[in-house]
Amino acid sequence: MRRFKRFPPRRLRFRSPLILTGALLLLAALAPTANADLIAYFNFQHAVDGGPPDFTSVLVANNPGGGVVLTTITTDYATGEVLANRPGTLLNISPGDNDIIPRIDVELTDTLNNNNRHFDFNVVSPGLLFSNMTLSFACKTRVGGFTDVTVQFSINGGGTWTTFGTSPLAVNQRAIESFVVPAAANNAPNLAFRFFFTGGTGITNFRFTQFDNLQLTGTIGPVPEPATVVGGLLGVLGLCLHQRRRLIRSVRFRRT
């Protein structure tokens, strides 16, 4: 007479939890760790009123309200028609930003001839990846100024762009324009952002549209070391193979 062995044997009862624990340890090793919430920050403060804008981001070492990525905005806006402007605004400043007075923003003139001019910046920092991001900035426009702003991201350093938001601008009042970055941009090692304005009809040097205090916020996490990834995968694979052999043995018939 034959009978099946009891399944699972006592010595195997805790094998599955062991495998689960190994998998969870691997996920923990690969998951980003939240170190800060401010990735990149531009307050445009270090410029002379009426001169070229300060398009360099602010770092933590230089300002408590700064981000972790040192980067620079580039633009194809007509030379001499994008300028530093005073006064700026306190709207959308980062907590800890000590550059309170005088506030300076970026002014855009001759909007009719500068529709679709873009402002780009990359978000590349060795050893770090970014996810769950939001892009925001303060903006104000007047009659004749731009009527809409569009934001895009690139995961190949600006080779191709994906639009993830367009918003109408409030006329004659400052407002915060805020856009949630799609998950497709998460953890991209060669990430970049672009925004551009449309709908402008002004043809003079009047300050038709201004923007200020640009923030990119999100989750900041380390890039996993290759050895950590490979070691974790091999560990989980070994546990799974071991469990598979024991399970096969447990279903064999035995004679009584």
Q: What CATH number does the domain containing 204 carry?
A: 2.60.120.260
Of 182, 191, 194, 216, residue with least CA distance to 57: 216
* Residue 253 domain-assigned (yes or no): no
Of 2, 1, 7, 23, residue with least CA distance to 239: 23
Question: What pLDDT score was predicted for residue 29?
Answer: 43
DSSP labels, 73-124: -EE-SPTTSEEEESS---TTPPTT----SS--EEEE--GGGGTT-EEEEEE-
Number of structural domains found in the chain? 1
Cα 207 to its chain centre, rounded Å, is 30
Question: What pLDDT score was predicted for residue 82?
Answer: 96
Of 120, 93, 94, 107, residue with least CA distance to 47: 107
Distance CA 236, CA 231 (A): 9
Of 137, 84, 74, residue with least CA distance to 109: 84
* Residue 175 domain-assigned (yes or no): yes
* Residue 127 domain-assigned (yes or no): yes
* Residue 129 domain-assigned (yes or no): yes
Residues of the chain with pLDDT under 70: 1-36, 61-63, 100-101, 223-256
Q: Give SS3 for 11.
A: helix
* Residue 136 domain-assigned (yes or no): yes
- Strand 38-42 and strand 74-75: the pairing is unpaired
Question: What pLDDT score was predicted for residue 248?
Answer: 53
* Residue 249 domain-assigned (yes or no): no
Residue 95 and residue 65 in contact, taking contact as beta carbons nearer than 8 Å:
yes
Of 216, 171, 221, residue with least CA distance to 194: 216
**Rg from Cα positions in the chain:** 27
* Residue 122 domain-assigned (yes or no): yes
* Residue 169 domain-assigned (yes or no): yes
Question: What pLDDT score was predicted for residue 98?
Answer: 78
> Which residue, chain included where needed, has tokens 């996993």?
224
pLDDT tens string 117-167: 999 999 998 889 999 999 999 999 999 999 999 999 999 999 999 999 999
Question: What pLDDT score was predicted for residue 87?
Answer: 87
DSSP labels, 164-233: EEEEEPPBTS-EEEEEEPPGGGTT-TTEEEEEEEE-----SSS--EEEEEEEEEEEEEEPPPHHHHHHHH
Range of the domain at 45: 38-222
Give the chain's end-to-end CA distance (angstroms, integer): 7
Question: What pLDDT score was predicted for residue 230?
Answer: 42
Residue 105 and residue 78 in contact, taking contact as beta carbons nearer than 8 Å:
no
Q: Please tell me what DSSP assigns to residue 72.
A: B
Question: What pLDDT score was predicted for residue 205?
Answer: 87
Residue environment code for 139-157, b if the CB has 16+ CB neighbours within 10 A, otherwise e: bbbbebbbbebbbbbbbee
